């Protein structure tokens, strides 16, 4: 029987072999301190994320969302939820579609890690199927337009003016990404995977010039957004900002396109990402080229060959997911999804390598 991930008190937590993820009593006191509802709390885990962890917390007069990192030990600089909260507050002030951050907690004595609390947004996250009211060709097309418009809004934010000076460096983003994820691979790897190094070498040799720096979400895909419940399709929130920084906007577009499936490409884009974006094979959704063209039109940016950015996205995913797989092997998580990464990480690396071997395309 798996140990409970939610307990009432620190005393209960101390008696467990595996630390719980949420302790009700200190969270309740923290919410009291910030005037968020009253009385006992109920909490349930929400979302499909397998990295930072999200709980819906209910009590009288309040429904809020608490976000925390996974159980330690963690890779250096990864899973920084307070940095994520800082960015959310800044872009929310700039009218980007995000939940409002209500409060943050750096005191690890409460639940063992830092966390933050944000508002609950009403809507639906589109993953494996589309809600009936949006399941038509015209609404699917509108979903894609809303997704691109929201991304363009993120990239249009004046990040210096909204208080993010120092959040990331305006130059050298691509070089830093290669350096950071090469180092992260050395920290995360549980086995030798030749394609990981082959892709790293190709990325270093073919690195493009970086355009003007923008906010980069880092994990922008359909499944990390929420749509309103009514008609027409309206994107109401962007989630999962833990990888966000200042850098090259085409990194977000490259990542979005490798999570965007077309009929017949299940074997070419990597099994995990075919599952993430399988719903976009439906009639009305644009293909990847159409998505890229829509971004170019709405943003006014020049969008050149995206192979480099697509390979980067898949390579980074392989490195990052290997860290999650390592946590599974170490027994610090009971998430069954992470055990399946034994085969998924090599598939991601192979998919990245296949992109590096495609002919150049201009758009």
- Say which DSSP state 34 is in: T
- Three-state secondary-structure class, residue 317: helix
pLDDT (average), residues 179-196: 92
Instruction: Dump pLDDT digits (tens) for 53-98.
Output: 999 999 999 999 999 998 877 666 667 999 999 999 999 989 899 9
244 contacts 262 by C-beta, under 8 angstroms: no
Q: Cα separation of 36 and 112, whole Å?
A: 21
pLDDT (average), residues 327-335: 69
Neighbours of 362 (CB within 10 A): 6
Position 221 confidence tier, pLDDT thresholds 50, 70, 90: very high
Q: What is the pLDDT of residue 273?
A: 57
- This prediction's pTM: 0.88
Position 321 confidence tier, pLDDT thresholds 50, 70, 90: confident
Domains, the chain, in order of start with CATH, read 6-119 (3.30.200.20), 132-356 (3.90.1200.10)
pLDDT (average), residues 151-176: 94
Closest CA to 297 of 231, 229, 363: 363
Q: Evaluate the omega torsion of the peptide bond into residue 97 and state whether it is cis, within 30 degrees of 0.
A: no
pLDDT (average), residues 231-254: 96
Q: Cα separation of 292 and 286, whole Å?
A: 9
255 contacts 246 by C-beta, under 8 angstroms: no
pLDDT at 363 over 50: no
Q: What is the pLDDT of residue 31?
A: 98
pLDDT at 276 over 60: no
Position 320 confidence tier, pLDDT thresholds 50, 70, 90: confident
Q: What is the pLDDT of residue 1?
A: 45
Mean pLDDT, all residues of the chain: 90
First to last CA, the chain: 54
DSSP code string of 171-222: S-HHHHHHHHHHHHHHHH-SS--HHHHHHHHHHHHTPPPP-S-EEE-SS-SG
pLDDT at 271 over 50: no
Closest CA to 64 of 139, 116, 131: 116
The distance from CA 234 to its chain's CA centroid, rounded to whole angstroms, is: 20
Neighbours of 112 (CB within 10 A): 19
């Amino acid at each position: 029987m798996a140990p409970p991930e939610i307990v009432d008190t620190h005393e209960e937590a101390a008696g467990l072999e595996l630390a719980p993820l949420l302790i009700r009593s200190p969270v309740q006191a923290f919410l009291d301190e910030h005037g968020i509802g009253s009385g006992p709390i109920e909490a349930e885990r929400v979302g499909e994320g397998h990295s930072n962890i999200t709980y819906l917390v209910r009590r009288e007069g309040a429904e809020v969302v608490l976000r925390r990192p996974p159980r330690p030990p963690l890779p250096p600089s990864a899973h920084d939820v307070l940095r994520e909260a800082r960015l959310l507050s800044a872009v929310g002030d700039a009218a980007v579609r995000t939940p409002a951050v209500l409060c943050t907690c750096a005191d690890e004595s409460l639940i063992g890690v830092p966390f933050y609390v944000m508002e609950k947004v009403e809507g639906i996250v589109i993953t494996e199927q589309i809600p009936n009211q949006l399941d038509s060709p015209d609404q699917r097309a509108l979903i894609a337009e809303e997704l691109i418009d929201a991304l363009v809004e993120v990239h249009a934010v004046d990040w210096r003016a909204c208080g993010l000076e120092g959040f990331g460096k305006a130059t050298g983003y691509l070089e830093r990404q290669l350096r950071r994820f090469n180092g992260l691979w050395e920290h995360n790897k549980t086995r030798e995977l030749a394609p990981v190094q082959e892709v790293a070498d190709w990325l270093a040799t073919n690195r493009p010039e970086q355009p003007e720096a923008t906010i980069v979400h880092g994990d922008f895909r359909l499944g990390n957004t929420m749509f309103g419940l009514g008609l027409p399709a309206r994107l109401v929130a962007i989630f999962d900002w833990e990888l966000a920084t200042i850098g090259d906007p085409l990194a977000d577009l490259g990542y979005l396109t490798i999570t965007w499936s077309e009929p017949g490409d299940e074997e070419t884009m990597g099994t995990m990402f075919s599952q993430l974006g399988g719903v976009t094979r439906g009639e009305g959704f644009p293909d990847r080229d159409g998505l890229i063209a829509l971004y170019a039109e709405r943003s006014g940016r020049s969008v050149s060959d995206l192979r480099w950015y697509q390979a980067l996205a898949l390579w980074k995913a392989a490195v990052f997911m290997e860290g999650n797989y390592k946590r599974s092997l170490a027994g610090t998580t009971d998430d069954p999804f992470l055990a399946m990464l034994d085969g998924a990480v090599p598939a991601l690396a192979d998919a990245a390598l296949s992109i590096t071997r495609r002919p150049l395309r201009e758009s």
